[in-house]
Amino acid sequence: MIREDVLTRVECPVCGHRLMDKGDKATGLVQTKCGRCKRVWEVELETDKFKQVSGKPIARRKGDNDSP
Ligand SMILES: [Zn+2]
């Protein structure tokens, strides 16, 4: 029998730096700081929702990939 610990990489939404690995059933809110761009994120583990707590505002590029 194989025990699988499913870990998902959680990456910084801005620079793609790995912030942490989360378990399959991880829930709740964590705060983590990106080691590359120094932004502080609040992450909802269940939904992968990112909220920026501090650091430079996210530069939004026009016509990036918001629209299909
Ligand atoms: Zn980053």
| pLDDT 10s digits, 15-68 | 999 999 999 899 999 999 999 999 999 999 999 999 999 998 877 776 666 555
Domain boundaries, the chain: 7-54
What CA–CA distances, in Å, run from 40 to 13, 36, 54? Answer: 11, 11, 5
Pairwise CA distance, residues 51 & 37, whole Å: 15
Token pair recorded at residue 10: 């959680």
The environment of the single-atom ion ligand 1, i.e. residues with CB closer than 5 A, is 12, 14-15, 17, 34, 36-37
Ligand 1 center–CA 2 separation, angstroms = 34
Ligand 1 center–CA 65 separation, angstroms = 19
pTM beyond cutoff 0.85: no
The answer to whether 37 touches 14, Cβ cutoff 8 Å, is: yes
